[in-house]
Chain A
């Protein structure tokens, strides 16, 4: 776990880490990776991947509109809005 990897991961998660936090997280991540390394040693060749630990299947919903507009409430709770829109810092492609 070098510094560069930590920086990449925290950037992808949009986290800004101070130096003391960085040190602690590096240690935590190393522990996790070591644990996964250990798991890698188990032979899973004949075992199907598990998508979800609950051995259940997803319920399905009928395709009918039951949700009502809560636009006012949503916009009220957003940091910035204008008329019907959410306003966010400029994102340019």
Chain B
């Protein structure tokens, strides 16, 4: 029997605001426990929540990026449940009128494109952190995270494999970082996902019973957890049993999912409008302000780079995917007449240096100005592209000026034909066997001679001049 998988993801993105959604306590990660807690976060009697303007700005920014409808009037509701990391006894969330509705995310799975529709994205507060293993019979609570703004992004159940789920998560991850909505640090829980997974017979129109896998916080685990769950559900159904609707946890150590809590009662959150919070209205002026600072999105940037600067599609996509890299590129193309070279170096040599150090370009010692000098020296023939790599490596370590490095280390390219001819004659004389073979039709040996000349000149010979002069000398 063949089965198909239906997956919907709920992604929680911690918004990168300075303060909480309803209080002016800091949201800084990693501070001493319980030092970033306000009366409001504790839910003490008599306090009132006041909404954070920037949390709304960021949510709207995300909504605009996915072409969603923005509800300029949205409201908050209480979701009631008792858990010690939520001192109020309820979580404030947007149930009936979320800030963002609709929208879409484009994903790419090994070259296959697909569009996933978004149901909604709503603001809510995060809970605190509980630690269960410090004492045998007690739990300990840190409320620093309680009240941190979350944007919960809910997809339609249109994802059909673990791979697609990962691609979707990666697309979201890239987008929220680019928009400066969330720092995207999954190891700190800034972006985490709940996966609703069900399977059904191919051709069935009704959805199967779903299970929800909670709090998956890495791309790798999303794929593994979903694949485990698909296999498990198929096994259950093929043995003639039924899938139980339940919440499960993924255990990465054992690579399995297991039921999270057995409940005597089904969840009954008794949502109702939060009487402490009035409707939040975003004025047309505020909308206009958000639109006017809205950045050019990676996909649009990429298209523009290709048409405006004729750079390769793959290079355009890599550069445009990072805010820092695209800013750097855009400064460079203002003064260079060779945007293709700039793109080439940024993706190639500089890209691998960035990966090696795991940093962003604005954290490196390479300044825009120095990069421009380097580009200029390649364009005007002072140095070869090969030497440029040596210089880049030095700049990477020391941040020194490219011209200084060229002068100090005598890296100026040899253009002088008489000088190059001398070297070529020397190479031909000391490799008579290869010269004979070459003349007898072993064309491939040409590269060998180029290599020898480069070796003699420590890579400083102008490659075009070497090619021309070598051809002349060998064919004479």
Which residues from chain A sit less than 8 Å from chain B, CB to CB? 8, 11-12, 14, 49, 51-52, 54, 56-67, 69-71, 74-75, 80, 82, 84-93
Q: Is the interface of A mostly helix, strand, loop or mixed?
A: loop
**Contact flag A11-B82 (CB < 8 Å), given A58-B277, A61-B53, A88-B138:** no
Tell me the nearest residue of chain A to B36, going by C-beta: A69
Contact bitstring B125-157, A, C-beta under 8 A = 1, else 0 = 000001110110111111100000000000000
Q: How far does the alpha carbon of A20 sit from the alpha carbon of B200 in the complex, in Å?
A: 51
Per-position contact with A for B257-298: 1 when CB-CB < 8 Å, else 0? 000110001001010010101111100000000000000000
B36 neighbours in A (Cβ, 8 Å): 67, 69
Task: Tell me, rounded to whole Å, the shortest Cβ–Cβ distance linking A1 to chain B.
Answer: 16
A12-B268 CB under 8 A given contacts A59-B50, A69-B37, A92-B132:
yes
Q: How far is the CB of A67 from chain B (nearest CB, A)?
A: 4
Interface centre among A14, A51, A84, A91 (most CB of B within 10 A): A51
Q: Which residues of B contact A8 (CB under 8 A)?
A: 265, 268
Q: Is the CB of B138 within 8 A of A52?
A: no
Hey, which chain B residues are within 8 Å of A93, CB to CB?
132, 249, 260-261
B141 partner residues in chain A, CB cutoff 8 A: 85-88
Residues of B within 8 A of A92 (CB): 132
Q: Does B17 contact A (CB under 8 A)?
A: yes
Asked whether A91 lies within 8 Å of B130 as measured between CB atoms, the reply is: yes
B83 proximal to A (CB < 8 A):
yes
Q: Can you report 21 residue pairs joining A to B where beta carbons are below 8 Å apart?
A: A51-B96, A51-B273, A58-B50, A58-B277, A59-B50, A60-B50, A61-B50, A61-B51, A67-B24, A67-B36, A69-B35, A69-B37, A74-B37, A84-B142, A85-B33, A85-B140, A86-B84, A86-B142, A88-B130, A88-B140, A90-B135
Contact with A along B25-58 (1 / 0, CB 8 A): 1100000111111110010000000111111100
Q: Which residue of A lies closest to B50 (CB)?
A: A61
Q: How far is the CA of A86 from the CA of B41 in the complex (A)?
A: 14
